């Protein structure tokens, strides 16, 4: 069994396909899109067998090569009017390009290229859905941010709308695959966006980084959502991973949020970051601590890429691991909403996996205790009851969406 690299937001039990835990977890995330035709187990395992997990170029090359083949197959299928086959091939290509991109630190020469290819493949698939997924650009401050809007039918009926808010390092297109179909199948409009600090936004604009005051950009975003065709005024915000900070922050300040799902809530981001390094180092002082962290990350290139991307998304692209460990004021130090949770009065659901780590469990419990909503619920996923105990139910998305939308159906049916 692989040893967990990060102390929060990762279950301790990996698949065991890779010895390195973060590589194994990223493989799980890639395979999880199989739920919505975004992956196939045979081609994923075949790629995995050829990867040298200590060599990041091996990871990048294998996934990119597979994606390139499927992209060409999709083009061929489209040329022959096989639209369903083309759609499914484009979906898998976007996922595998995204997997390759997740092996890239921001300084890697293929970082932007692989993200762009992933986005292009997804957007080639969008018009092949019925009804199609609409590709939007939303003006937020000085930026034009990518967004997707999807309705259950191309008609004049007005419906409640799910606004999905992604996490720290997830691609917008992957988030749409994971959460969009479940919403649309249940009769909800679905909207999601590369908000400031989300992966696509940072790749497009160096200054479009994470910030504490997400109610500011989301005021413009929700204005845009309200004007979309088919929106009946009822808006649910679902925040996944780092979105578990963003969505509650917006709900504190904007009463247009009629229902809130935090999966998992983050009410004190600096504490989450502190918890990340605990299993890396244990109780080790000073310079030895820095050497141990750097040594562990050198053995886990995907973990290193994850950490370096984190600095990049906070607007600190030059920060080193050593500087991060030494700083008295961690990045994101002003992302704390614990004292403001009482301002959340809309129906609220908090979700967390039993094996996400002590800090995530504590913050989830404090979150649900702190909100003032008359209707508030907490659900803890376990392997025994749910077949899932991992971060954002990465090990069982179907179960996660079942709990989410069954709860939301109850809110909006009353």
What letters, b where the CB count within 10 A reaches 16 and e where it falls short, cover 262-297?
Answer: bbbbbbbbebbbebbbbbbbeeeeeeebbeebbebb
CA distance 277 to 305: 15
The percentage of residues in the chain with a pLDDT greater than 70, rounded to a whole number, is 94
pLDDT in tens, 276-320: 655 554 555 556 767 777 777 888 899 999 989 999 999 999 888
Give the pLDDT score at 203.
96
pLDDT in tens, 372-392: 999 999 999 999 999 999 999
263 φ/ψ angles, rounded to the nearest 5 degrees: -140, 85
pLDDT in tens, 131-152: 999 999 999 999 999 999 999 9
CA distance 11 to 20: 13
Give the pLDDT score at 286.
59
Beta strands 189-193 and 231-240 are unpaired
CA distance 54 to 57: 9
Sheet holding 143-150, edge to edge: 134-140, 143-150, 189-193, 159-165, 231-240, 259-263, 348-353, 376-381
Higher-scoring residue by pLDDT: 329, 373: 373
Q: Which two tokens stand for residue 140?
A: 């937020």
Give the pLDDT score at 1.
43
Q: What does R_g of the chain's alpha carbons equal in angstroms? A: 20
CA distance 336 to 249: 9
**Phi-psi group of 197: left, alpha or beta (phi > 0 → left; psi -120 to 50 → alpha; rest → beta):** left
As a whole number of angstroms, the longest Cα–Cα distance in the chain is 64
- Helix, strand, coil percentages (3-state) for the chain, rounded to 5, are 50, 15, 35
pTM exceeding the 0.85 threshold for the entire prediction: yes
């Amino acid at each position: 069994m692989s040893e967990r690299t990060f102390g929060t937001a990762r279950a301790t039990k990996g698949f065991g396909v890779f010895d390195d835990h973060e590589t194994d977890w990223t493989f799980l995330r890639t395979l999880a899109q199989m739920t919505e035709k975004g992956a196939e187990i045979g081609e994923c395992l075949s790629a995995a067998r050829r990867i040298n997990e200590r060599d990041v170029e091996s990871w990048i090359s294998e996934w990119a090569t597979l994606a390139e083949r499927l992209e060409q197959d999709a083009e061929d299928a489209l040329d022959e009017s096989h639209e369903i086959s083309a759609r499914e091939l484009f979906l898998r290509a976007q996922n595998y390009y995204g997997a390759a991109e997740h092996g890239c630190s921001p300084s890697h020469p293929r970082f932007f290229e692989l993200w762009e290819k992933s986005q292009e493949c997804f957007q080639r698939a969008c018009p092949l859905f019925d009804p199609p997924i609409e590709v939007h650009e939303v003006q937020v401050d000085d930026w034009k941010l990518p967004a997707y809007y999807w309705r259950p039918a191309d008609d004049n009926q007005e419906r409640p709308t799910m606004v999905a808010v992604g996490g720290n390092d997830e691609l917008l297109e992957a988030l749409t695959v994971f959460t969009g179909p479940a919403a649309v199948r249940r009769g909800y409009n679905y909207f999601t966006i590369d908000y400031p600090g989300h992966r696509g936004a940072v790749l497009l604009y160096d200054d479009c980084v994470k910030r504490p005051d997400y109610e500011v950009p989301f005021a413009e975003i929700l204005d845009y959502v309200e004007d979309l065709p088919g929106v009946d005024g009822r808006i649910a915000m679902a925040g996944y991973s780092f979105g578990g900070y963003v969505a509650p922050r917006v709900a504190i300040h904007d009463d247009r949020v009629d229902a809130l799902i935090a999966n998992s809530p983050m009410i004190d981001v600096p504490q989450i970051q502190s918890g990340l390094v605990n299993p890396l180092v244990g109780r080790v002082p000073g310079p030895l601590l820095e050497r141990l962290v750097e040594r562990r990350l050198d053995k886990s290139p995907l973990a290193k890429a994850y950490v370096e991307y984190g600095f990049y998304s906070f607007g600190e692209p030059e920060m080193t691991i050593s500087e991060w460990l030494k700083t008295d004021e961690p990045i994101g130090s002003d992302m704390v909403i614990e004292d403001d949770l009482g301002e959340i009065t809309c129906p609220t659901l908090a979700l967390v996996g039993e094996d996400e780590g002590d800090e995530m469990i504590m913050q989830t419990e404090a979150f649900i205790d702190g909100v003032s909503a008359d209707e508030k619920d907490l659900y803890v996923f376990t392997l025994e009851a749910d077949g899932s105990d991992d971060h954002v139910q990465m090990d069982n998305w179907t179960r996660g969406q079942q709990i989410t939308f069954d709860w939301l159906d109850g809110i909006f049916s009353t």
